[in-house]
Structure 1
Amino acid sequence: MLPISLTHQFADRLPELAHPWRAEPCPSAQLVVLNESLATDLGLDSDELAAESGVDLLSGAKLPASARPVAQAYSGHQFGGFSPLLGDGRALLLGELETVQGLVDVHLKGSGATPFARGGADGRATLGPMLRELIVSEAMHALGVPTTRSLAVLTTGRPVFRHGREPGAILVRTAASHLRVGSFQYAALRGDEALLQRLADYAIERHYPELADTDQPYLGLLRSVISAQAHTVAQWMLVGFIHGVMNTDNMTISGETIDYGPCAFLDVYDPATVFSSIDSESRYAFGQQPVMAEWNLTRFAETLLPLLDDDPNRAVDLAKSALEGFAGQYEQRFMRGMYAKLGLARTPAEDCDEVRGTFSNQDAVSASWSQNLPLNSLVHDLLDLMQRRKLDFTGTFRALTAAADDELEPLRAQLATSNNANGECRTGEFDAWLERWRAQRPDASVMRRANPVVIPRNHAVEQALREANAGDTAELFALLEAVTDPFTERTDRARFAQPAPADFTRYFQTFCGT
């Protein structure tokens, strides 16, 4: 008996965006990783999933009678260029799982080519990229970043030829939904307002049900997605995450992070950092991510114009007004997170209360954020010092956490390995900043909860993937244990807290994995 039952609400409600399809048969599917913690959260039995019938289900070979698997259609701006038809070229939505938290999509990646596969692609995936998504998505969840989750990775028994012969694999992903900005672009491109409205209604039902009975539910949807994405991208920036491929088909309506293809994490703090091999113009560089999120949200707003108001000019005004809120929401969330990372007792909300009376409206407060908050200079000056001194992002904040407890040696060690732009090693500037910061009496307990010891450092991930490809998964499971418990300091995990060797970072690139 198969261990789960699935609904097919997306397929029923939006057949124009759903192409019925089946996974490619696997010669001999084998479970590599089963996320037992997630399985429990979803109300599933790990032993049943690990059994033969469970592996058959996870590979898409045998599905419950309630399932109607589909490849989803969507459009998208990819690196700024619009593609009217993209869709799941190597993925399938098996259906929705009913849980106590609500509906959860169960989705396969690497299950074979669909009608949306492009350029003769075989629709298959290799083990390394699927394990990368599992490692990074589960780390992001543990760090508190909204994200899709990874339930399992399986090998298919079929080799795939990318960079030589590699093991074929399937990732089983879960998500609040797979509705994207690109889904709305596809519906809008068809010029079918009824379809667009059904899609918007479905998005509201899945993610923002409180909007259903409001006077302007579609304007509320736009504002809610803007708010959700402002929060998510701020979280990316606080943990040093670089998505690498922020196309509109990779921005979810739920606000969850999706598609861990050419993703990476900062070592040395530099807003211009790019690791993705396909981002030749640095469109999605680390520091560009908030700007590109706003750009993507503008494309989303464009799709909703027919639903916002019958008067096109009025619809545009409403959309612009909503979009103007993104920058202020992002900055408030980012600064609130930075205050926590620096253990500052006050919050941006409290500082806003002080300055709010000076201005006539909230927009003025948001616009004045950087200029009027007295503690913000500490944040911006630190980031400037970190960039000029080429300091490790995660390591510096952990060293400051120790410094808040009067343990200065970790910070001195960080500074000793850094150089300023002239190749000199000086501590005077940092000492002056340190004195200003310590005068604020930073709270080390707050900092320990905000600054991870371990992130999925690029060199550690690459080593784990190399060994897993060769059949040894010991380092993979050790890394998974560490990144899913990122705020705990343990001596046996010390290697995962170390920055990459300079030569590694200098030449490291990430790839989309297709």
Structure 2
Amino acid sequence: MTVHFPFQNSYSALPDSFFARVAPTPVAAPRLIKLNRPLAVQLGLDPDVLETPEGAEILAGKTVPAGADPIAMAYAGHQFGQFVPQLGDGRAVLLGEVIDKDGIRRDIQLKGSGPTPFSRRGDGRAALGPVLREYIVSEAMFALGIPTTRSLAAVVTGEHVIRETALPGAVLTRVASSHIRVGTFQFFAVRRDTDAIRRLADHVIARHYPELLGAERPYHALLSGVVARQADLVARWLLVGFIHGVMNTDNSSISGETIDYGPCAFMDSYNPAQVFSSIDEMGRYAYANQPRIALWNLTRLAECLLPLFSDDQEKAVAEAQDILGAFSETFSDAYQAGLRKKVGLFTERDGDDALIQDLLDAMAKNQADFTLTFRKLGDAAGDPAADDARAQFMDPGAFDEWARRWRERTALEPQTAAERQATMHAVNPMFIPRNHRVEAVIQAAVNNDDYTPFEELVKVLAKPFEDQPDYAAYADPPLPEQRVLQTFCGT
């Protein structure tokens, strides 16, 4: 059997300055860990063939499939606020693009496939742990309904990579609407290559914002579209307690997808200042800072687009500022609407935002678990005797005082108790990728070559809004000795 990828490659048809042509570096003994069969089918690929040894060789970069045009994309970026004029894909190779069954163009990229001209003295490889983390979290985000890159496959290479110690090497096959970032525009802006910026913007409009084709001011409309998608995306992150961990401009996708799952994590106890990333020493990318940082990143994009707005610098800046000004309202509307759904409010009344903020304040003060508080609040909406939400608070009386006001407010809603519970459970997950669970999966795989915990966790997270009684323990917060205080970048 032959593995067939119906590649149609548009990015590699752009000028050579946009990328470097480079093939993946072959590995010793690739072995498939996991194939995302439903995603393979969605992409028009044959999962049975991908699960063969020949398929594993392609997914590990040992064999380049027919029709591929492998490239490493060029980009720059602000990393923790410091600008680096050249970054690029240092350990990833874009094999090509396919049109999926919905008619959407998707990148297929190998992450951890060896050095490229952008590796900056790195080995271009990935360790097994970060590959499993990205597979788990990206697929969990998809199941939660959050725009994200996806994971098609994870393969061990039969080789070791050297980090602090020798670790099993692995390759992740990542699928994205594209891998174009804010940093891609910055790469050309710092070189004052306005023609390339225009070419890139036109490509992005055609690929991600086709409704803007023929617009009177397409580049203004492009910035507006990216602002709207990023505002909505970050609101969705906050509503599930997600912390990206490294919101550099090179990790900010133009398509509005979550990309680059490095030291990411989900909160257990609610804490707006929560940071997990070991490299975020100043808390720049803390949970509550994410909207502000998203706007900061978008401002950097706007700076790149100014030459396309007007030859009059002052006019261009004013127009960009006007577009950026929509971010706060768009984010706030999406976030507040999401919070109202989480607490079972489906009409808007004065005092709702304050009521919800009082709950968040009480949760922070009482170290209440973010996910379970909202999930169990849905139980309380259906059954006033249910007290699992109350049990999340160190001082249950703090919940009682708030719940009294909440019940008075929900009594003004038209839904029945059962309808309210069902609707709340549809937006409040029972299961998230708990950090201690992800770490346990990684340790079992790395230390014992045991992927049973990985398979089970992926299975549970595929249905985050269902109760799944047989797997109820996966919803539990960590015990004190299980808490994960830091997560690490996989570079």
- Normalising by the residue count of structure 2, what TM-score does the alignment of the two structures yield? 0.95
Question: Which residues in structure 2 correspond to 1:364-513 (within 5 Å)?
Answer: 373-406=350-383, 407-415=385-393, 418=394, 425=395, 427-439=396-408, 440-441=410-411, 443-469=420-446, 470-505=448-483, 508-513=485-490
Cα separation, 2, equivalents of 1:116 and 1:345: 50
- Does the 8 Å contact 1:154/1:171 carry over to 2? yes
- Does the 8 Å contact 2:5/2:66 carry over to 1? no
Read off the aligned partner of 1:104 and give its amino acid letter: R
Cα separation, 2, equivalents of 1:37 and 1:65: 23
Read off the aligned partner of 2:324 and give its amino acid letter: L
What's 1:355 paired with? none
Give 1:429 shift.
Answer: 3.2
Question: Which residues in structure 2 correspond to 1:128-143 (within 5 Å)?
Answer: 128-143=129-144
- Does the 8 Å contact 1:104/1:175 carry over to 2? yes
3-state DSSP of counterpart to 2:277: coil
Query: Given the superposition, is the C-alpha separation of residues 15 and 8 from structure 1 closer, same or farther in structure 2, using an over 3 Å criterion?
Result: farther
Give 1:309 shift.
Answer: 1.6
Give 1:205 shift.
Answer: 0.6
Give 1:258 shift.
Answer: 0.3
3-state DSSP of counterpart to 2:400: helix
The size of the alignment, in residue pairs, is 479
Question: Which residues in structure 2 correspond to 1:182-261 (within 5 Å)?
Answer: 182-261=183-262
Give 1:13 shift.
Answer: 1.7
What's 1:106 paired with? 108
Give 1:432 shift.
Answer: 2.0
Read off the aligned partner of 1:483 and give its amino acid letter: L
Give 1:234 shift.
Answer: 0.4
What's 1:162 paired with? 163
Give 1:193 shift.
Answer: 1.2
- Does the 8 Å contact 2:344/2:423 carry over to 1? yes
Cα separation, 1, equivalents of 2:38 and 2:280: 35
Give 1:16 shift.
Answer: 1.0
Cα separation, 2, equivalents of 1:429 and 1:180: 44
Cα separation, 1, equivalents of 2:66 and 2:43: 20
Read off the aligned partner of 1:117 and give its amino acid letter: S
Cα separation, 1, equivalents of 2:454 and 2:245: 23
- Does the 8 Å contact 1:6/1:64 carry over to 2? no
What's 2:309 paired with? 308
Long gaps (5+) in structure 1: 352-372, 419-424
What's 1:28 paired with? 29
Give 1:41 shift.
Answer: 1.5
Give 1:487 shift.
Answer: 0.5
Cα separation, 2, equivalents of 1:380 and 1:320: 29
What's 1:78 paired with? 79
What's 1:367 paired with? none
Moved more, 161-170 or 28-37: 161-170
Give 1:345 shift.
Answer: 1.9
What's 2:126 paired with? 125
Read off the aligned partner of 2:490 and give its amino acid letter: G
Read off the aligned partner of 2:321 and give its amino acid letter: K
Read off the aligned partner of 1:314 and give its amino acid letter: K
Moved more, 84-93 or 99-108: 99-108
- Spell out, residue by residue over 1:68-104, the C-alpha distance to the aligned partner (whole angstroms, 9 max, x if none): 1001110000000000000011111111112233210
What's 1:362 paired with? none
- Spell out, residue by residue over 1:332-356, the C-alpha distance to the aligned partner (whole angstroms, 9 max, x if none): 0001111111111215xxx6xxxxx
Question: Which residues in structure 2 correspond to 1:337-348 (within 5 Å)?
Answer: 337-346=338-347
Cα separation, 2, equivalents of 1:339 and 1:189: 43
- Does the 8 Å contact 1:3/1:49 carry over to 2? no
Structure 1 consecutive aligned stretches of length 4 or more whose deviation exceeds 6 Å: none
Moved more, 302-311 or 96-105: 96-105
- Does the 8 Å contact 2:5/2:67 carry over to 1? no
- Does the 8 Å contact 2:91/2:116 carry over to 1? yes
Read off the aligned partner of 2:201 and give its amino acid letter: A
Cα separation, 1, equivalents of 2:15 and 2:281: 36
Give 1:378 shift.
Answer: 1.4
Read off the aligned partner of 1:180 and give its amino acid letter: R
- Does the 8 Å contact 1:38/1:151 carry over to 2? yes
Cα separation, 2, equivalents of 1:63 and 1:2: 10
Give 1:38 shift.
Answer: 0.9
3-state DSSP of counterpart to 1:96: strand
3-state DSSP of counterpart to 1:409: coil
What's 2:337 paired with? 336
Read off the aligned partner of 2:115 and give its amino acid letter: A
- Does the 8 Å contact 2:4/2:66 carry over to 1? no
What's 1:354 paired with? none
RMSD across aligned positions (CA): 1.2
Cα separation, 1, equivalents of 2:87 and 2:138: 23
Query: Given the superposition, is the C-alpha separation of residues 495 and 428 from structure 1 closer, same or farther in structure 2, using an over 3 Å criterion?
Result: closer
- Spell out, residue by residue over 1:369-426, the C-alpha distance to the aligned partner (whole angstroms, 9 max, x if none): xxxx4311111111000001110000101110110012422123223xx2xxxxxx3x
Cα separation, 2, equivalents of 1:492 and 1:9: 46
Moved more, 239-248 or 64-73: 64-73
Give 1:185 shift.
Answer: 0.3
Question: Which residues in structure 2 correspond to 1:40-59 (within 5 Å)?
Answer: 40-59=41-60
3-state DSSP of counterpart to 1:19: strand
Read off the aligned partner of 1:132 and give its amino acid letter: R
Cα separation, 1, equivalents of 2:473 and 2:251: 32
Query: Given the superposition, is the C-alpha separation of residues 501 and 306 from structure 1 closer, same or farther in structure 2, using an over 3 Å criterion?
Result: same
Cα separation, 2, equivalents of 1:296 and 1:67: 32
Moved more, 335-344 or 6-15: 6-15
3-state DSSP of counterpart to 2:90: coil
Give 1:468 shift.
Answer: 1.5
Give 1:14 shift.
Answer: 3.8
Cα separation, 1, equivalents of 2:240 and 2:164: 31
Give 1:166 shift.
Answer: 1.3
- Does the 8 Å contact 2:148/2:259 carry over to 1? yes
Read off the aligned partner of 1:265 and give its amino acid letter: F
- Does the 8 Å contact 1:14/1:199 carry over to 2? no
Query: Given the superposition, is the C-alpha separation of residues 157 and 56 from structure 1 closer, same or farther in structure 2, using an over 3 Å criterion?
Result: same
Read off the aligned partner of 2:42 and give its amino acid letter: D
3-state DSSP of counterpart to 1:410: coil
- Does the 8 Å contact 1:105/1:175 carry over to 2? yes
Read off the aligned partner of 1:457 and give its amino acid letter: R
Moved more, 56-65 or 197-206: 56-65
Give 1:501 shift.
Answer: 1.6
Read off the aligned partner of 1:378 and give its amino acid letter: L
